[in-house]
Chains A and B, each alone.
Chain A
Amino acid sequence: MPKSQFIDPAKVRQSSKIEFKDIPVNQYDKSIEEEKVNFSKEQFIGIYHDMVLIREFETMLNEIKIKGEYQGIGYNHPGPAHLSIGQESAAVGMAYHLDEQDFIFGSHRSHGEILAKGMSAIHKMDDDTLMDVMKHFFDGTILKIVSENHQGDLKSLARRFLVYGTLAEVFARETGFNKGLGGSMHAFFTPFGVYPNNAIVGGSGDIAVGAALFKKVNQKEGVVVANIGDASMACGPVWEGLAFASMDQFEQLWEGAYKGGLPIIFNIMNNQYGMGGQTCGETMGYDIAARIGAGVNRDSMHAERVDGYNPLAVIDAYQRKLELLKDKKGPVLLDVLTYRYSGHSPSDASSYRSKEEVEAWEKQDCITSYGAELVQSGVVAQDELNAIKADVTELMKYSMTLAIDEEVSPRMDLVKHPELIGEMMFSEGSEDKMEDRPVEVNHPMEENPRVKQIAKKERFAFDANGKPFSKIKQYQLRDGLFEAIADRFYKDPTLVAYGEENRDWGGAFAVYRGLTEALPYNRLFNSPISEASIIGTAIGYAMCGGRVIPEIMYCDFLGRCGDEVFNQLPKWQAMSGNVIKMPVVIRVSVGSKYGAQHSQDWSSLVAHIPGLKVCFPATPYDAKGLMNTALQGTDPVIFFESQRIYDIGEQFHKDGVPEEYYEIPFGEPDVKKEGKDITILSIGATVYRALEAAKELEEKYGMSAEVIDARSIVPFNYEPVIESLKKTGRILLTSDANERGSFLKDMAQRITELAFDELDAPPVVVGSRNWITPAYELEDYFFPTKDWIMDAVHEKIVPLKGHSVANNFTNAEIIRRSKLGI
């Protein structure tokens, strides 16, 4: 909503019609003869070779899956193998022009793309760079294996490297490209520009856009290709990726070198089936997938259907589309028509298609027909093609023999190193900046209006007499967040932040107020209302080496980016074998007052997912310190904030919130008030209600309560809680999350396990009711209050003399509610 853009009613209300540009379909019609001016013999043969390489790789896996052997070598591979036999020309055509600076993202069926892109990169890289890559990848482990008995040039060594590394990964070997932690559906190799392949259909549809954003924001060479299946065009996140990639602001608001479209090609590998569902005629309505482009932007995404059965047609299309991207005219949509003969997976009986159909496509097989044309047009003799086939078969036998050798290619030894995977879940890095170059900002920090305003605020909430300053004078929690984030923007040139209303408005809760003045569009911008793309692009951005703060305005919207938060963000560091780092700090705001879809604390949901760090500060001091830590790290952090306390002042840190930079380590709970009779452990904004309860316990019942603020929940150090418990013997846990299945329950169980003998009563959880959140006026019946805490203490922990309860915490009531599921 920039003021520079005037929405003129006279103009927008005018009568007119939308005219679509034509979307070409299979218009390539050149023969080999005609293409001889564009391709050398080596290039023609190279294309053939790469297709054969893929075909043989997939055939090998197919034989292993179906017969348990390949070329007489027996092996059992119980893991997945989604093969692309028939699609080789589409993959090779896609990769032909791309070098290692161009990044491809793929799907569960991407072996072909890995090999095609890998070969293309190998061809284009100079020997020194290539050697350097192989030498340094996992300390040269793979290179050492494939170098043995190798004869030939470096390119052929690199081919071995590529095939072996991919196959070892498919077989889950520690010597695979991702230490065997990715496997068939996730294998990738970033030094060749092969970025994560995704087992979630359409998963790359928004992640790849983030990679393109990284290229643009950080002015990097190269383009990004999102290889996604035709069936993924039904997935919301793919559409969100399209929407994000085609935002007008790139052209209309971004300035200078940043102006213009994202360098991305959505490459639909259109094999015409989504598992067994036929996209044209059954499960989709686009008829020709390229049609989708018409609905996305004025340029119809330069969409085109290309005959993917002809590698030269695909190469031709890429040549033209890459020119468009060079002119900053992206995004581009390509509908690359192809066909897979192999089943979706080896268990596929192809019951959804006729034998005749498969045979008809086989008759036009992309490799056979391309080879025949090459021979026909005199480029190459059949013998040479046969020799290629024989050579590739030998390469596969060689690679397979090595990859299944337990000595050469062992799996991770989890007996010897039981925590190996555990140690890979987080990268635990500490990086001031992700790249070393000047930061792009609009003015020095001290000239910033928000910075000037904060300078006048009181960094501790109370004056010398213990009287609180007025709210407006107090340095608030939102100021703590601002300081940490602004500081990082001035340190890390790669840092970007975006989300809904992040620019101009300053974020819905005024955390970013002042940042609009400080930062150009390419560092802070408004995203579409499209959480999957907000998080998905952030993941892609981080995968490429950037640091990013995506914002989810209300916690309740986390569901809108469920796959991104649950399946993508937490997984890629470990699944890459720690090749990839994920410095993504998702700001999530927990609401209140706005009812059932704007008031939920879902910290428990993300805490459940391995691979995410989760924190929830409740004071300005903690907010700034934890945000600094989150932004200094290289791990994904879900950073919860509560709308109840954005304006809270610092009540605990007597010296006030430091102006300088400091970090608060994740996982360390903080004692907000000492006591000896009962411990109250809080997550988030409930800490203030816990303190009220502590006050009443003390004044009315002579019990001194220790109030501990968890601050972060993943990781979490239980030791201080156990220490407190040793003193008090009693513990109550509280947060605004629904109590059923909440993280508090997990903590209660852990505490019981770790300190059973210290307990004088079971750990008692006081969370919200398992209801919808009612209106603001009824919230006291839904969210924990001081009185709930008092009642729970009385009922479940230690009867308070003379206390009369208003809320039912009895066992009978718990059983009743559980029976009803409420």
Chain B
Amino acid sequence: MANAIIMPRQGQSVESCIFTEWYKQVGDEIKTGDILFAYETDKASFEQEAEEDGVLLTTFCEAGDEIPVLQNIGVIGQAGDDISGFGQEAAQEDTAIEKAESVEEEVVDSQVELVLKDRVSNDKVRISPRAKKLAEAELVPYKKIEGSGPEGRIIIRDIEAYLASVPKTTPLAKAIIQEEGLQAPENGSGLDGIVKSTDLSSNPVYSDDFEIKKLPNIRKLIAKAMHASLQNSAQLTHHLGADARRLLELRKQVKATEGAPNITINDMVCFAVIKALKQFPDANAHFLGDSVKYFNKVHLGLAVDTDRGLMVPAIKNAEDLSITGLSNQFKVVAESCRQGNIDPELLSSEAASFTVSNLGNYGVEMFTPVINLPQVAILGVNTIVPRPADLGGGVYGFVPYMGLSLTYDHQALDGGLATRFLKQIAIEIENLSIDT
């Protein structure tokens, strides 16, 4: 019997997902557990495994389609099964929503999808005066656009659809393009991809020396979040070093002890951060503009680098965990992130009360991490370097120091408090004890 393949539901708030790719072709044999397709929410990318054996009989979507969750996107079954009952609406459960939507569905969207085509040079271009006026004003290469009007005429909605699909151009860039008869690049280096004058190249030798790729959804989201963070807060970073001898000692002990859990330096730093946070509730908070949300517990976000991009999963109630528990949790969520099956709820910046971003592994000596708004601060952890230190008694020697970079939102925290908090982290690191 044929069964519908549905777009999985990802968290309460996700209404629809972007379908990314089918890994199987219609007609392929499917085994339970085979990766069937990939999709993205606004926060993460996922792969979906097949939940039964069978043959992929049909599909209802393709890359880039936005599909409401729980909607039927394909059918799996045995060859010859009747699939006529599987419309796209067949899998919808919420009848109330369905009804509300079915009324709206009578209205056909008058927007069109943009279709570009390679026009043979002697093809006649039909374009309405209004569309042409807009196209020329906005430098739209309208000859490449397939018209949706009568007899293939390019009409205003086609130009509008094109404009919606490409980055904007700064007035200066526009003027230069017009003056020099250049082709506007599809992507610019300005904010939100706006094409700036510096993006223009009038040298035909170099003009093709690049490849433009569309941003994956997650990249767009990260870009937006990071940009928003810098735009919407007053960020500054304090750098301070912590004596790392204690950490290195503990790490050596862990390594030396057979059978002990593999507690990393990062685990230890995070453990120390949690302790410091407990003493500085102002830093374990969200700044909401006209109010501040103080958390009773520490929910620690940890920046994880994955192939898909940067993800910051949260460890809920991290202060309740022993260092071993914390370490285990870190491993689990980091792996989920890399696998792409992390609960999207945990990726939300609202999920964590404070974030740690550790670049120490990569030898970074100092950086200015960007706050995950609405959190009020983020700790950047740097590599450990030996620094000359007064060892007492007139003796100077090299001591390993770990760089700590605290970026905080000056809207929420003042410099003194931030400094004391950072110092407290250093103190906790320098005096850390772990109980394995």
Contacts and interface: CB of A to CB of B under 8 A. Distances in A.
Interface residues on A, range: 20 to 34
Contacts of A797: 149-150
Nearest to A752: B129
A702 B109 contact: yes
B108 A756 contact: no
Contact of B130 (A701, A759, A796, A811): A759
A761 B128 contact: yes
A799 interface: yes
A373 interface: no
Contact of A729 (B109, B153, B156): B156
Interface string B123-155: 000001111010000000000000011110101
B150 A760 contact: no
A702 B104 CA distance: 10
B278 interface: no
A761 B155 contact: yes
A181 to B, nearest CB: 41
Range of interface residues on chain B? 10 to 19
Contact of A760 (B106, B108, B110, B155): B155
Q: Which of B106, B107, B128 has the most CB of A within 10 A?
A: B128
Contacts of A756: 129
B110 A702 contact: yes
Interface in B176-191: none
B157 interface: yes
Interface in A724-762: 729, 756-761
A811 B126 CA distance: 15
A764 to B, nearest CB: 10
Given A760-B130, A799-B149, 4 more contacts: A677-B110, A700-B107, A702-B109, A799-B148
6 nearest A-B residue pairs (beta carbon) = A801-B108, A760-B130, A702-B107, A760-B128, A729-B130, A760-B156
Contacts of A800: 108, 110
21 contacts: A677-B110, A699-B107, A700-B107, A701-B110, A702-B107, A702-B108, A757-B133, A758-B129, A759-B130, A760-B129, A760-B130, A760-B155, A760-B156, A761-B155, A796-B150, A797-B149, A797-B150, A800-B108, A800-B110, A801-B110, A802-B108
A760 B155 CA distance: 6
A787 interface: no
Nearest to B133: A757
Interface string A784-806: 00000000000111111110000
A703 interface: yes
A757 B130 contact: yes
A760 B148 contact: no
Interface in B144-176: 148-151, 153, 155-157
Chain B contact residues, majority secondary structure: loop
Nearest to A703: B110
Contacts of B149: 760-761, 797-799
Given A729-B130, A757-B133, A760-B155, A795 B150 contact: yes
A801 B129 CA distance: 23
Interface of A: 677, 699-703, 729, 756-761, 795-802, 811
Contacts of B148: 799
A795 B129 CA distance: 18
B106 A700 contact: yes
A701 B108 contact: yes
A802 B148 CA distance: 13
Contacts of B133: 757
Contacts of A799: 148-150
A478 B129 CA distance: 43
Nearest to A794: B150
Nearest to B156: A760
B109 A760 contact: no
Contacts of B129: 756-760
Contacts of B151: 811
B110 to A, nearest CB: 5
A814 to B, nearest CB: 13
A14 to B, nearest CB: 73
A105 B403 CA distance: 114
Contacts of A798: 110, 149-150, 155, 157
A703 B112 CA distance: 13
A798 B128 CA distance: 11
A508 B131 CA distance: 51
A744 B236 CA distance: 68
A757 B131 CA distance: 9
B140 to A, nearest CB: 15
A772 B181 CA distance: 57
A748 to B, nearest CB: 14
B150 A761 contact: yes
Contacts of B108: 700-702, 800-802
A796 B149 CA distance: 8
